[in-house]
Chain A
Amino acid sequence: MSPVSTASSRAIYDALKACGIRLISALPETWLVHLIRMAEEDPEMILVRLAKEEEGVGVSAGAHLAGVKSAMLMQNHGLLASINGIVSCAQLYRIPLLMLVSYRGEFGERDPWQTEGGAATEDILRALRIPFTSLDHPDHVAHRIADAQTLALSSNKPVALLLRRGLMVEEDPAREAGRAGGSGGAGR
């Protein structure tokens, strides 16, 4: 059973809708399951399930040029997989991207395979000069998403919101004593 917070996912989804997002590209990962289901069940939303996250850069670029506001849901490893598209499509052509990145591999991470990506995520965003902030509490989700969207559109550049464990995971299995093995969250 996934410990991902439905309430936080709903707050994020509602904030995206309030920003006028009409298209979401996504590649499933544990923390994003509720968000993807919400997009899937919303008749007003175009959900594009990707084979690899970099495709989402192209999809969002096309949507933007066609006048549709979009957001990308990905794991931080998906951010790593998207770097060439971000640089040589979105940054080269001044395309705004609203990237919501689940920040795996931080303190509390139980899955060994997530741990390298977590250590690299913020340095990579800085190296790419992508403005970013965290979503780590439901209270600031709405205004941080709105602010991120505002900056993306005014600068015509990608921005990132890091979805943190404290927001996305309701009962963190890492804190439960006596549990071993990897039953908590499969990778991607």
Chain B
Amino acid sequence: MKRLDALNAVYSRLQDHIVITIMGAVAAELQSIGHRPNFFYLQHAMGLASSMGLGIALSRPDRDVIVLDGDGSVLMNLGGLTTLARYRPRNLVHVVFDNESLLSVGGFPTATSTGSDLAGIAAAAGVPQTTTVRTIEAFTQALDEALAARDLSLIVAKVEAVGPSAFVTDLTLLENRFQFQRYLAP
């Protein structure tokens, strides 16, 4: 499964929710499909997208928050999985695109390439719903089930280590940030 195809397949599910992505390929690919004011791209601070998602989910329990994370970023903040599980926001779905590499900085393999199981780690941290999917159909179904479950969920989507040719888009960081804030807290 390619991440871009996976994002295309679920875009209609994402478009009305609060979406937080990590930097690099995920941000560029989602923007290539279509930016929306309810999408925020954390273009650095690796590991903190899920922490931001937690802050938003606790502050706005009336809204669903979807975090689009990556294996490299999650590995930088494994403790954050325990914090997420501890507060168990029912309105947060944590998607981890796992391409088993740090694609945007040269494709060096991460520890998931040698067997570290992020869904297993999340389950052991206490995240109540976890799954690993390898096809578009399974990913779409898992996201639908997670959104319907009304509980903290983590979906590891195994994807190919391919991405866009460029990561910088014409959406500046601060434009995104203030637009997103106006959307969330007008």
In the bound complex, residues from chain A placing their C-beta under 8 Å from that of B54 are 48, 58-59, 62
In the bound complex, residues from chain A placing their C-beta under 8 Å from that of B48 are 54-55, 57-58, 61, 85, 89
The answer, yes or no, to whether A94 is at the interface (CB within 8 Å) is yes
Tally of chain B residues near chain A (CB < 8 A): 34
Cβ B42 vs Cβ A66 within 8 A: no
Cβ B42 vs Cβ A89 within 8 A: yes
The answer, yes or no, to whether A119 is at the interface (CB within 8 Å) is no
- Taking a contact as CB atoms closer than 8 A, the residue among B20, B44, B55 that contacts A88 in the complex is B44
A66-B174 contact, Cβ under 8 Å, with A50-B83, A61-B52: no
Q: Looking at the complex, which of B56-64, B108-116, B150-158 is the stretch in contact with chain A?
A: B56-64
In the bound complex, residues from chain B placing their C-beta under 8 Å from that of A46 are 58-59
A55-B51 contact, Cβ under 8 Å, with A88-B44, A93-B173: yes
Contact indicator per residue, chain A 59-100, by CB within 8 Å of chain B (1) or not (0) = 111111111101000000000000011001100111100000
Nearest chain A residue, comparing its CB with the CB of B77: A55
In the bound complex, residues from chain B placing their C-beta under 8 Å from that of A51 are 79-80, 82-83
In the bound complex, residues from chain A placing their C-beta under 8 Å from that of B173 are 92-93
| Cα of A5 to Cα of B48 in the assembled complex, Å | 33
- Expressed in whole angstroms, the minimum distance between the Cβ of B183 and any Cβ of chain A is 9
| Cα of A55 to Cα of B46 in the assembled complex, Å | 11
Nearest chain B residue, comparing its CB with the CB of A55: B51
Cβ A58 vs Cβ B45 within 8 A: yes
Nearest chain A residue, comparing its CB with the CB of B53: A62
Cβ A62 vs Cβ B82 within 8 A: no
- List chain A positions with a Cβ less than 8 A from chain B: 23, 46, 48-52, 54-68, 70, 84-85, 88-89, 92-95
9 residue pairs, one from A and one from B, having the closest CB atoms: A62-B55, A58-B51, A67-B185, A51-B79, A58-B48, A89-B45, A88-B44, A66-B59, A59-B55
A-B contact pairs, 16 of them (CB 8 A): A48-B87, A49-B86, A51-B80, A56-B51, A58-B47, A61-B48, A61-B52, A62-B51, A64-B55, A65-B177, A66-B55, A67-B184, A89-B45, A92-B44, A92-B45, A93-B174
